[in-house]
């Protein structure tokens, strides 16, 4: 999509563009038989995604760190549609223990799982380590989702196999993936405080989201599994994600107001990739404004994707042993 299309909202090949809303791109789609799990589905574009999927009759499980906010979000949706199926479960993505406990709790519900939306994240935070001793943006945005996905894969494969319905995994990335460290992923300096840049660390984690989807897709195709994995850039939206840089982002928005979206527009690409029938069988791609776009060279690097996969597994293993 060109800058002209972004500014004007002119539709791309999909028939949708930057001005399209989540409700518009899912119009007429019946999700009655689908169970969706979304991380961070209690605020911002995550909440709008939850709302729209629930209105399309999907059973939506909201995984959230703040249970009060999650329950308030659920109530808002029920006020709009008393028949909406929304449940909430606690999840702190920065904690591998919490991720494991969440997966155990979800699997114990014996629900199917058709769609996994890895939506939650943090942005531009000051240098800090997670409780597992991992740089916080990498831990939350990538590693927590990586482990969560791995722990739920058997459930997704079983659901796809027994229902015949294609499973879909959607990773929320960002155009910020192009602004990362020199080598893309700082494998040897993930926790290095001296070289830490809040912007590049965020870009690194968003690059990891695309590479994760790419390697998942390769594995699914190799195994012949009826599941797709894609990454999306939702666009520039002023949400709680900017809490560490609210002032600078407000100034940026003042000078680039024509590039920003509202929340319903911001949730559109996620909902499109999660539900739209035109994307059946489409996997390993990156979407912007509901249209496929080529990401950075790092994000297209298959060897880097495999290296990140192995690194992530080893990092989780080392935490488990400790």
Q: Which of 175 and 259 is assigned the larger pLDDT?
A: 175
Distance separating alpha carbons of residues 19 and 261, to the nearest angstrom: 8
Active site residue 244: no
pLDDT digits (tens, 9 = 90+) for 83-138: 999 999 999 999 999 999 999 999 999 999 999 999 999 999 999 999 999 999 99
Q: What is the pLDDT of residue 10?
A: 79
Q: Which of 67 and 5 is assigned the larger pLDDT?
A: 67
Q: What is the pLDDT of residue 237?
A: 73
Q: What is the pLDDT of residue 18?
A: 93
SS (H, E, C) 247-311: HHHHHHHHHCHHHECCHHHHCHHHHHHHHCHHHCCCCCCEEECCEECCCCCHHHCHHHHHHHHHH
Q: Crossing angle for the helix pair 144-163 and 96-108, nearest 10 degrees? A: 20
Q: Which of 251 and 97 is assigned the larger pLDDT?
A: 97
Q: Are 144 and 99 in contact (CB under 8 A)?
A: yes
**Active site residue: 181, 196, 202, 244, which one?**
196
Closest CA to 94 of 36, 145, 18: 145
Domains and CATH numbers, the chain: 3-321 (3.40.50.720)
Q: What is the pLDDT of residue 253?
A: 45
Cut 0.85: pTM above it: yes
Q: Which helix (H) or strand (E) holds 64?
A: strand 59-64
Distance separating alpha carbons of residues 10 and 4, to the nearest angstrom: 8
pLDDT-based confidence at residue 236 (cuts at 50, 70, 90): confident
Q: How far is CA 256 from the centre of its chain?
A: 25
Residue bearing tokens 């409700």: 23
Beta partners for residue 135, in sequence order: 129
Computed over its alpha carbons, how large is the radius of gyration of the chain?
Answer: 18
Strand order of the β-sheet with 286-288 is 85-90, 59-64, 35-39, 115-118, 167-172, 227-233, 286-288, 291-292
Closest CA to 209 of 297, 126, 127, 119: 119
Closest CA to 102 of 114, 112, 92: 92
Q: Crossing angle for the helix pair 302-321 and 198-223, nearest 10 degrees? A: 100
pLDDT digits (tens, 9 = 90+) for 124-183: 999 999 999 999 999 999 999 999 999 999 999 999 999 999 999 999 999 999 999 999
pLDDT-based confidence at residue 259 (cuts at 50, 70, 90): low
pLDDT digits (tens, 9 = 90+) for 190-219: 999 999 999 999 999 999 999 999 999 999
pLDDT digits (tens, 9 = 90+) for 276-316: 999 999 999 999 999 999 999 999 999 999 999 999 999 99
Residue bearing tokens 């989201």: 209
Q: What is the pLDDT of residue 260?
A: 60
Report H helices in the chain. 3-8, 22-25, 44-55, 67-80, 96-108, 136-137, 144-163, 198-223, 246-255, 263-266, 268-275, 302-321
Q: Which of 265 and 246 is assigned the larger pLDDT?
A: 265
Q: Which of 251 and 236 is assigned the larger pLDDT?
A: 236
Closest CA to 196 of 263, 136, 131, 278: 136
């Amino acid at each position: 999509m060109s800058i002209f299309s972004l500014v004007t909202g002119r539709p791309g090949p999909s028939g949708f563009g930057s001005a399209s809303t989540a409700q518009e791109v899912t119009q007429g789609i019946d999700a009655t038989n689908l169970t969706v799990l979304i991380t961070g589905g209690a605020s911002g574009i995550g909440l709008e995604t939850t709302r729209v999927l629930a209105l399309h009759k999907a059973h939506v499980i909201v995984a959230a760190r703040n249970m009060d906010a999650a329950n308030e979000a659920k109530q808002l949706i029920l006020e709009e549609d008393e028949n909406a199926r929304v449940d909430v479960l606690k999840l702190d993505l920065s904690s591998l223990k919490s991720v494991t406990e969440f997966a155990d709790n979800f699997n114990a519900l014996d629900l199917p799982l058709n769609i996994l939306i890895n939506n939650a994240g943090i942005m531009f935070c000051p240098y800090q380590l997670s409780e597992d001793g991992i740089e916080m943006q990498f831990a939350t945005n990538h590693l927590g989702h990586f482990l969560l996905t791995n722990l739920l894969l058997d459930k997704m494969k079983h659901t796809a196999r027994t229902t015949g319905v294609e499973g879909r995994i959607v990773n929320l990335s960002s155009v910020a993936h192009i602004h990362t460290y020199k080598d893309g992923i700082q494998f040897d300096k993930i926790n290095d405080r001296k070289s830490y840049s809040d912007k590049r660390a965020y870009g690194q984690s968003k690059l990891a989201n695309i590479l994760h989807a790419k390697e998942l897709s390769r594995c699914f195709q190799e195994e012949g599994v009826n599941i797709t994995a894609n990454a999306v850039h939702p666009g520039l939206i002023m949400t709680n994600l900017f809490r560490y840089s609210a002032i600078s982002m407000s100034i940026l928005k003042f000078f680039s107001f024509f590039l920003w979206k509202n929340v319903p527009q911001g949730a559109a690409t996620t909902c499109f990739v999660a539900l739209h029938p035109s994307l059946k069988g489409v996997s390993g791609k990156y979407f912007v404004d509901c249209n496929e776009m080529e990401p950075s060279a790092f994000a297209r690097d298959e060897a880097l994707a495999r290296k990140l996969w192995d690194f992530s597994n080893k990092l989780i293993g080392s935490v488990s042993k400790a």
